[in-house]
Each structure stands twice: as structure tokens, then as C-alpha cells.
Amino acid sequence: MINRLFFGLIITFIFAGCTIQAQKISVAAASDLKFALDSIISVYQKQHPSEKIQVTYGSSGKFFEQIQYNAPFDLYFSADVDYPKKLKEKGLTISDVKTYGIGRIVIWSKKIDPNKEKMNSLLNPKLNKISIANPDHAPYGEKAKESMQYYKIYDQVKSKFVYGENISQTAQFVQLGAADIGIVALSLALSPTMQKAGGKYYVIPQESHKPLEQGYVILKQAKNNQNALKFYNFIASPAAIAILTHFGFTQKTTIF
């Protein structure tokens, strides 16, 4: 009887361990993180090969709305740290909100070199379409609009806008020729895909817009997912920070 009970306990522990190892991590991430986060996950999974991470990239604002209606995500990486902070205020998170970096916006084009005319590149009469992220729900689009207003060119160019649902789609428009020029994330301009496309970019001065402080948090759904906590902690590791820095995210460690 004792041996049978002991055997049963061992089997229970084995299956419990397998359940933990089999836990997947579902991540909602701002699309400007695509290349940086994919690289971070690649490094992480070399250390934890049995753990599975599924990432959905998109608009930070849209994810914010979906998470409030119980979208099945364990972690949320936002291009605007205010979104995860608001989720924490609503009781929808189980960790501190941490920053993973400060993003930058750039003017990118294959048709001209925006370093020559800088912000006035957007006024070039030969350029008919300007790609920006939708400022209503994409932080990068909001900051692009702020910068153009700061330099007093917004009203002159707004009729040429082609809106991307997120900053990744915005970059695709200008990369593939659906737009002549665009305001995109530095992290995407530094990506292998856009570098291969052969365009040039100009980094827009930070003083022209509010800081693009970006943050991440563990969501309420992941309360029993130990792997989500491990990956959350890994983002603050030297290896992850080096990758984020490589893709243009200025480091500013803040915890809320």
C-alpha cells in the first residue's frame, strides 16, 4: 500500500513538472519590436529549448483594448508605457510595469536622401504619398504627428498621408513602394529587411515630440504560468538589453 502511494505521488510530480514545461507563453507586442524581440526569443530559447513563445505583433492601442476584454495574452509589450500602466491600475496585471527602452522615429525613403532636407523632405513636391502609422491608436503615429506639428508642416502634408494600422505596416508601405516616404521606427529602419531594401533614413530630433517610452508587463492570465515570469525577467538581462540597444532602443530602466 505504501509503495503504491509513493509511486502515485511520483507520477503526480512528474506530470506536474511536464505541465509547467509545456506551458506556452503568449505575447502581444508592439510591431516596432518585431526584429528585436524575435532575436531575444531566439537567444532565450537556446537556453530554454522546451519552452514555446508565441508572439502576435500589432498596434499597442488595439492590444490595450483587446486585453481589457480578456484577450488570451500572458505578456504585453507596448510602444507606449502608459498602456500597461493603465492596465495595472485596472487590476489586469500581476507584475510591475518595466520599461524596455525609448524608441526613436525616422524619416525613411528609397526615392530621396532625407538627411539633405531633414523634416522638409516631407515637403518635396515630387513625393505624392507619405506613410505614417495611424495616430489614433499607434504611438509611433502619434509621435510622428507631434513632430510634424512642432516643425509646422503637418497641415501642408496631411493630404498625402497613407495610414498604416501599426508601425510595421507603415514601414512596409514605404519599403514596397506604396508610399514615397514615411515616418517609421528606428528599430525597423535598422532591421535587415529595410537595410536590404536600400533606403536612407534621417533620425527626427527627440525634442519635437514626447518621449516614446515603452514598457512591458505580465498580464493577469499568466498568474499560474512560471515560464511567463522567467521570460519577463529575461528582458532585463544583459543579453536582451544588448539586442534592444542594437535595434536603437535607448535604455532607461524604470519600474512602475
Angle between the N-to-C axes of helices 238-246 and 34-47, in degrees from 0 to 180, rounded to the nearest 10? 150
**In the prediction, which pLDDT does 32 show?**
94
Given a cut of 60, whether residue 84 has pLDDT beyond it is: yes
The one-letter amino acid at 84: P
Q: Domains in the chain, start-ordered, CATH in brackets?
A: 2-102+213-246 (3.40.190.10), 105-203 (3.40.190.10)
Residue 70 or residue 3, greater confidence: 70
Residue 152 binned pLDDT confidence (cut-offs 50, 70, 90): very high
**In the prediction, which pLDDT does 112 show?**
96
How high is the mean pLDDT of the chain? 91
Which DSSP string do the residues of 63-102 spell out, in sequence order?
A: HHHHHHTT-S-SEEEESSTHHHHHHHHTT-BSS--EEEEE
Q: Which helix (H) or strand (E) holds 16?
A: helix 2-22
If you average pLDDT over residues 26-51, what whole number do you get?
Answer: 96
**In the prediction, which pLDDT does 10 show?**
39
Strand residues in the chain grouped as ranges (E):
24-30, 52-58, 75-78, 98-103, 105-109, 130-133, 161-164, 181-185, 200-203, 212-218
Question: Phi, psi at residue 167, to the nearest 5°?
Answer: -70, -25
Percent of the chain at pLDDT > 70 equals 91
